[in-house]
Structure 1
Amino acid sequence: MSSRDQVRTYSRAESVVFLKTDEPFGGLSNMAGGYPIRVNGIRILTSEALYQACRFPHLPDVQRMIISENSPMTAKMRSKPYRKDSRRDWDHVRVRIMRWCLRMKLANNWSAFSELLLRTGDRPIVEESRKDDFWGAKAVGDGSTLVGMNVLGRLLMELREQVKEHGRDAFLRVELPDVPDFQLLGRPIEVWTLKEAVALATPQPGLFGDDLPSVQTAAVPASATLTPQMSGQLSKPDALKVEGEADCATPVRPAEAGDQASAYPSYRDSGLPWAPKIPEGWQVLRNGRLFSHRVETGFPDLPILEVSLRTGVRVRDMENLKRKQVMSQKEKYKRAAKGDIAYNMMRMWQGAVGVAPVDGLVSPAYVVVKPYPEANSAYFSYLFRTSAYMREVNKFSRGIVADRNRLYWESFKQMPSLVPPRAEQDQIVAYLRAQDAHIARFIKAKRELIKLLTEQKLRIIDHAVTRGLDPNVRLKPTGIEWLGEVPEHWEVALIKHIADVRFSGVDKHSHNDEMPVRLCNYTDVYKNDRITEDMDLMRATATAAEIARLTLKAGDVILTKDSETPDDIGVPAWVPEDLPGVVCAYHLGLLRPIPERVLGEFLFRAIGSARTAQQFHVLATGVTRFALSKHDVKNAVIALPPIEEQQTICRWITDECQPLDGAIARAEEEIKLIREYRDRLIADVVTGQIDVRGWRPGPDDVASDVELAALGGEEENTGEEDLHEETASWPTCT
């Protein structure tokens, strides 16, 4: 690839061009965060860190230093002093290694990265670079043209075509590149498989170490590990078993010996590119042969239904709804009878479809279809939420802008679907619901584990920022009931005396007379402890005065100042480094510490502690929405040690919480992996790649709808500008 013949010329207007990670397609960059990769069971945060580590198979200490960095740019910089010691054949093998790194990035982050690749359509993908025209291309002339070898972009296009042609199946296993001495930390790098990734994510005995007795004594749920028994219950095909070791597998009970899933005896061509082979005896029918269109209004007394992207349709809990809504003109809402399928016209391509559990109401913006007797609506709900079918939904949808396309009834009824015999549909539904029961229990237990670990972390922080680290220190009363006693040499300070408090009014809208900025918004603060350069922040505009007053600087602390519930008030995040061009957004307060009085990191820890945050919950006022005034924030109180002691406390908290943070991250990844396994299992069963006709339920293969709700995402109230990640918003008639 070093010859001039490899140089390409691209039109910027006709290409997908990325330069920075915060751009719409910035996730394609090796510098993009949020795409962790597991190699030999080791979690590496970015493909850049993995690629740089592969330079030094003979220097494991250098590899360890590179992959331990949180920032991809820092990982790259760490490698620079050792570049002269790169493997001798580096220039010869680096493209093979980069191709492998990209495949690993995709396989480990299938949902997010494949969706990003597919959004590029058929356009050329180009990494714009100011210096490197080997991996990228340089802008020439007026910038409308880019010239270079663009090797990274071409590898991404190659990957995109494989995703289009083969889908997830091509990435259940990632083979090694043809590279000698391919090692990480002194061990040969192993072939990655989804099966092994799930197994490696399962926590082992001694997960938390002997230095965390308080965590070990916590009641960790027994179901938080994917046990051999669970592996048997899941009835997985051998190629995808989570537990593979013969010495730890639970023997199959004799009654189940013939029930293990396998392929059908024979298949035939379906004529469908997304499911080319189907079992003999299955049909391909258009949806109009399976469903009729139901349009019935005038039932205002029925409950309101909503859809979860993972678990389908459910009754909306109006009493405990965090986002209070007034439902007007309910007589215009459509009736969905129990057993009907309802789908969101604009979001069915994301899986916003499901079976109505009871008679209820959906928005007029939804389509309701009634199944004919030969159709089990639960089977088709599973089928419609597979990635292959959702891609077909896109093809049949119509609209001016791609992400606003709608799937109307007239198009839905023309779509072909796979139709097993009715009895087989019923068996598939029973089988998948049984597997969902075990997976839901596993996810619920993992969430309980995360909750325990988070509580333990908060206890560590709370004690450190209110009592310090010296158990023998003399204490003094503060006269504040919630704070109690603090070390005798500490102050009790009002925030207004140690920080400048600024409230933001910068919203997400862009205006021609304003300057472009990146917005740190409510969700960014709510979901992250730190705000950093590599985060994918929203683009908007702000006035020159707003930019001058609200641009984030090193040490700033940002906190949520209003929400639907008081518990979400006063959630802080910390800014470790200056962030030019990043502005604090609406619904947030910015606290700029006075350097000689308080460290930004200590202020962040103090505000985030349970006892200190309690005062914000008390001060927050409102009925349907709670808010803190600037006066409330300025007059909030924290316990304040001397600067040197603040530094010591911050270092100690970081060291103590690191194992807990690691355990939380592993538990979250286990949830992600078991969900990917579930998606793959459903796709295989509803398309006939796995024969479950011989399966018989066991005593544990039953779960209530309440238990199955764990399959969805944790419902978080993350601010007015953020929709729940797992829940499609149902439009309201007014």
Structure 2
Amino acid sequence: MSYPAYPEYKDSGVEWLGEVPAHWDVTPVRAFVEERTAKNPSGDDENYLSLMANVGVIPYAEKGDVGNKKPDDLSKCKKVDIGDLVINSMNYGIGSYGLSGLKGVCSPVYIVLRPMEEKVLPRYALRIFENKEFQKLAQSFGQGILAHRSAIGWDDLKNIKVPMPETTEQAQFSAFLDHETARIDALVEEQQRLIALLKEKRQAVISHAVTKGLDPDVPMKDSGVEWLGEVPAHWGVPKLKHLVRIRNGRDYKIVEVESGGYPVIGSGGEFARANDFLYDGESVLLGRKGTIDKPLYINGPFWTVDTMFYTELSQRVNGRFLYYYATCFQFGQYSTNTALPSMAQEDLANIYLAVPGPPEQILIATFLDYETARIDSLVEEGRSVVRLLQERRSALISAAVTGKIDVRGWQPPEDSMLTGEASQMEVV
């Protein structure tokens, strides 16, 4: 969609803004929001609020086991009222901010701002702080090692100059942006649901192939193993230790080099290089501590870290087949009750697998290579659509709040509901 520009512009005198509509003011942030620093001296257990990136202000209880924990002492917490703008001073650059629809208290490291409603509508104030160019400028004043986690404060924000139309025009912009971003958000959610379904389908295809085979008419037998159930009658049911030798990884610091050498493999894949290797050949890597449910496949010389096991394969098992099988292991049943999820080598060694002969394993692995690549391609297409939609969303907000488009004549469509067919057409 395209929108007209304003008929007349002026130089804002602000480098990051450039020209703005001629009838707009340019004002520092402190002129339309004020910092709220009221504390909770009684320490009452009021509604403790959290910020979730790209979600906004939510009750702490809804956040789940992520991010900072609720403090025991709430006396230093800041009070938050409905309509306050709340910003995580550490994570503003990754979307941790929002307009509160709740009353309560929040972390003392959050910035709490109250829009001056005679000058700015709360929804429009939110859009200003949602502008990516504004965020980049604010983050540039922050203190920290990582740019996206640089701590900012009110002193960093209050003097930044932004364009400001009259409240009647703000109301029109707010209605326009609320409608258009809701449409984009609906499309993003639709794509994310599709991606989740594709991932479920991928794992279901793997699980069925490695435990039931590819022939739907093959005679079956009870494996005697609960998680396997019935398996093809001609398959064996050995323990993992009868197919591979499980070896410990080692600390990579003694062999690390800046370039060249051999890959150092962790739970997320290659992350460093080494001047030596632990093993040269086909292997399936299994997590020992930390990330234990993400097996990896490698073929060639490598070094793996001491928080991972590697395997030496016997001639009875194909590496790709075993890798796919390992993605189906019930890791949660074996994880030790420690601060970090851990797997004992003995537990891994005693996992039962149902396996055919090597030729059939190769057929299954080849089938899964094709099927997973096809599904992965669809997943990546979905992610590309999500990225494109999110870029459009950001560009639309930026164009609106900086006056690059004129939507004063915009009217919401009579039927604002999206249909699946319409949403697909919009994506295209």
TM-score scaled by structure 1? Answer: 0.51
User: Matched residue of 1:653: which SS?
Assistant: helix
Match of 2:174 among 429, 433, 450: 429
Aligned to 2:54: 310
- Measured in 2, the distance between the counterparts of 1:592 and 1:305 equals 47
Aligned to 1:128: none
**Paired residue type of 2:321:** F
Aligned to 1:717: none
1:644 matched to 2:365: no
1:294 Cα deviation after fit: 1.2
Q: Deviations over 1:684-715 (max 9, x none)?
A: 11111111222223466489xxxxxxxxxxxx
Aligned to 1:75: none
1:557 matched to 2:266: no
1:489 Cα deviation after fit: 3.0
1:347 matched to 2:91: yes
1:461 Cα deviation after fit: 1.8
**Paired residue type of 2:25:** Q
1:291 matched to 2:33: yes
Match of 2:10 among 233, 247, 268: 268
- Measured in 2, the distance between the counterparts of 1:540 and 1:404 equals 28
Quick one: structure 1 residues 401 and 311, their matched pair in 2 at CA, closer, same or farther if it must change by over 3 Å?
closer
Q: Deviations over 1:343-400 (max 9, x none)?
A: 2333334443322231233322222222212122332332223232123214433568
Match of 2:371 among 630, 653, 656: 656
1:312 Cα deviation after fit: 3.5
Aligned to 2:425: none
Aligned to 1:364: 108
1:516 matched to 2:235: no
Q: Deviations over 1:103-140 (max 9, x none)?
A: xxxxxxxxxxxxxxxxxxxxxxxxxxxxxxxxxxxxxx
Q: Deviations over 1:484-541 (max 9, x none)?
A: 222233221212222233466869xx8xxx553676444x2xxxxxx4x6xxx3x699
Aligned to 1:411: 156
Aligned to 1:149: none
- Measured in 2, the distance between the counterparts of 1:311 and 1:635 equals 43
User: Matched residue of 1:354: which SS?
Assistant: strand
1:280 matched to 2:22: yes
1:575 matched to 2:294: no
- Measured in 1, the distance between the counterparts of 2:83 and 2:209 equals 55
Aligned to 1:602: 321
- Asked if structure 2 preserves the Cα contact closer than 8 Å seen for 1:294 and 1:368, the reply is yes
1:683 Cα deviation after fit: 0.9
Matches within 5 A, 1:526-545: 531=269, 537=271
1:675 Cα deviation after fit: 1.0
- Asked if structure 2 preserves the Cα contact closer than 8 Å seen for 1:554 and 1:576, the reply is yes
- Asked if structure 2 preserves the Cα contact closer than 8 Å seen for 1:292 and 1:372, the reply is yes
Q: Deviations over 1:647-688 (max 9, x none)?
A: 121111122333322222211111111111111111111111
- Measured in 1, the distance between the counterparts of 2:199 and 2:92 equals 35
Quick one: structure 1 residues 656 and 327, their matched pair in 2 at CA, closer, same or farther if it must change by over 3 Å?
same
Quick one: structure 1 residues 678 and 280, their matched pair in 2 at CA, closer, same or farther if it must change by over 3 Å?
same
1:625 Cα deviation after fit: 6.6
Quick one: structure 1 residues 409 and 322, their matched pair in 2 at CA, closer, same or farther if it must change by over 3 Å?
closer
1:264 Cα deviation after fit: 1.8
CA RMSD of aligned residues (A): 3.3
- Measured in 2, the distance between the counterparts of 1:633 and 1:324 equals 33
1:599 Cα deviation after fit: 2.2
User: Matched residue of 1:346: which SS?
Assistant: coil
1:624 Cα deviation after fit: 8.2
- Asked if structure 2 preserves the Cα contact closer than 8 Å seen for 1:473 and 1:487, the reply is yes
Q: Deviations over 1:389-415 (max 9, x none)?
A: 123214433568867643222232111
- Asked if structure 1 preserves the Cα contact closer than 8 Å seen for 2:247 and 2:312, the reply is no
1:584 matched to 2:305: yes
Matches within 5 A, 1:15-414: 236-237=1-2, 261-298=3-40, 300-318=44-62, 320-321=64-65, 325=69, 327-373=71-117, 374-398=119-143, 405-414=150-159
1:420 matched to 2:165: yes
- Asked if structure 1 preserves the Cα contact closer than 8 Å seen for 2:251 and 2:305, the reply is yes
- Measured in 2, the distance between the counterparts of 1:438 and 1:330 equals 39
1:342 Cα deviation after fit: 2.1
Gaps of 5+ in 2: 258-262, 419-428
- Measured in 2, the distance between the counterparts of 1:698 and 1:499 equals 64
- Measured in 2, the distance between the counterparts of 1:554 and 1:305 equals 52
- Measured in 2, the distance between the counterparts of 1:697 and 1:284 equals 28
Quick one: structure 1 residues 625 and 394, their matched pair in 2 at CA, closer, same or farther if it must change by over 3 Å?
closer
Structure 1 or 2: more helix by fraction: 1
**Paired residue type of 2:192:** R
User: Matched residue of 1:417: which SS?
Assistant: strand
Aligned to 1:453: 198
User: Matched residue of 1:407: which SS?
Assistant: coil
Quick one: structure 1 residues 398 and 469, their matched pair in 2 at CA, closer, same or farther if it must change by over 3 Å?
closer
- Measured in 1, the distance between the counterparts of 2:217 and 2:133 equals 64
Aligned to 1:144: none
Aligned to 2:410: 695
Q: Deviations over 1:188-222 (max 9, x none)?
A: xxxxxxxxxxxxxxxxxxxxxxxxxxxxxxxxxxx
- Asked if structure 2 preserves the Cα contact closer than 8 Å seen for 1:307 and 1:353, the reply is yes
- Asked if structure 1 preserves the Cα contact closer than 8 Å seen for 2:60 and 2:70, the reply is no
TM-score scaled by structure 2? Answer: 0.83
